[in-house]
Structure 1
Amino acid sequence: MNDPNPEVPAVARLGFDRFSHGLKTGEWQPFLDLLADDFSFWFPVGEFQGENVGKERAAAFFGYVSSIFDGGLSLTLTGVTYNESTVVFEFRDEGTLRGQPYRNRGAVAFDVRGDRIIAYREYLAIVVVPRAS
């Protein structure tokens, strides 16, 4: 394996800080400003499930995320792993999802090229509780 480019974790960390800020405040423009024009993202569930392409689609996704977390979502970073072009951030999160308390663990991976984030993938520890009949 090649030695990681020192810019990769720095750009990704800036991205994670702006991502966290967006989740907490709903202010996404600083994060969106770090995205490459050919940005793509992958999300595991819902309307945005699967591969999504473009900054406009990303803006719609992050706007949607802010709309379902009343009062924002707070992240606590628990781990970071990286290689030549990808940085993975593990975290705990807490907030209110559509009026209900929400706590989860997750991970996001940012792929970096130069000073831009070119891709994002999110992995969640989703627990499905069957509804009572």
Structure 2
Amino acid sequence: MNELTMKVAQQAFAAFARGLATGDFQPFFAMLTDEFTFWYPYGKYRGKFTGQEGKARIVAKCHDHMQAGDRLTFSPPHHITSSDTTVMFEFECKGVIRQQPYQGRIAIALDVSGEKISGLREYFGDVD
């Protein structure tokens, strides 16, 4: 395990969680590299996007959450798995998405490059 990778990933995870809880994603956006890989399994943002398009997609997705008034609260992670460049967080999530109650189990993998996040992959269940 790389201590810097873990530290940066934990900071980014906390910033992303705060963004979904409050609608303020700016601290999370500040941690992203310009060249970014974003993978999402569902809906409008489904697919794998790389480079500047990847960053634009994650920013757009977060803005969509802000504009919709989505608010989610993350539990402390149940499991954290890491390598030298990636940290995976598994956790529970609950709140409101698309003006509907939501509760589910989620896993987010964050790729770390130096002191920035260069990728995010999200996996979840209980999607209607």
Q: TM-score, normalised by structure 2?
A: 0.89
Moved over 4 A (4+): none
CA-CA distance at 1:8 after TM superposition = 0.3
Which digits, 9 at most, give the CA deviation of each residue in 1:33-92, with x for residues without a partner?
00111011100011110112333322111111334454x100002221111111001110
What is the CA distance between 1:99 and its match in structure 2? 2.5
- Residue correspondence of structure 1 range 14-53 to structure 2 within 5 A: 14-53=11-50
Match of 1:8 among 2, 5, 20: 5
The unaligned stretches of length 5 or more in structure 2 are none
* Equivalent residue number for residue 75 of structure 1: 74
CA-based RMSD of the aligned residues comes to 1.4
CA–CA separation in structure 2 for the residues paired with 1:89 and 1:80: 5
Measure how far apart 1:127 and its partner are. Answer: 4.3
1:28 partner amino acid: F
Instruction: Name stretches of at least 5 consecutive residues in structure 1 with no aligned partner.
Output: 129-133
Q: Distance in 2 between matches of 1:127 and 1:24?
A: 19
1:60 corresponds in structure 2 to 60
Distance 1:69 1:114 in 2: 33
Match of 1:131 in 2: none
Given that residues 23 and 69 in structure 2 are in contact (C-alpha distance below 8 angstroms), is that contact kept between their aligned partners in structure 1? no
Structure with max Cα Rg:
1
SS of the residue corresponding to residue 24 of structure 1 reads helix
User: Number of residues paired by the alignment?
Assistant: 124
Any idea what SS the aligned residue of 2:123 has?
Answer: strand
Q: Distance in 1 between matches of 2:4 and 2:118?
A: 14
Counterpart of 1:107, as a letter, is: A
Alignment check: 8 A CA contact 2:92 2:105 kept: yes
Contact 1:69 1:95 in 2 (8 A): no
Q: What amino acid does structure 1 have at the position aligned with 2:122?
A: E
How big is the shift at 1:96?
1.5
**What TM-score results when the alignment is normalised by the length of structure 1?**
0.86
Q: Could you say if the C-alpha distance between residues 69 and 93 of structure 1 is closer, same or farther in structure 2, counting changes exceeding 3 Å?
A: farther
Rounded Cα–Cα distance in structure 2 between residues aligned with 1:44 and 1:103:
17
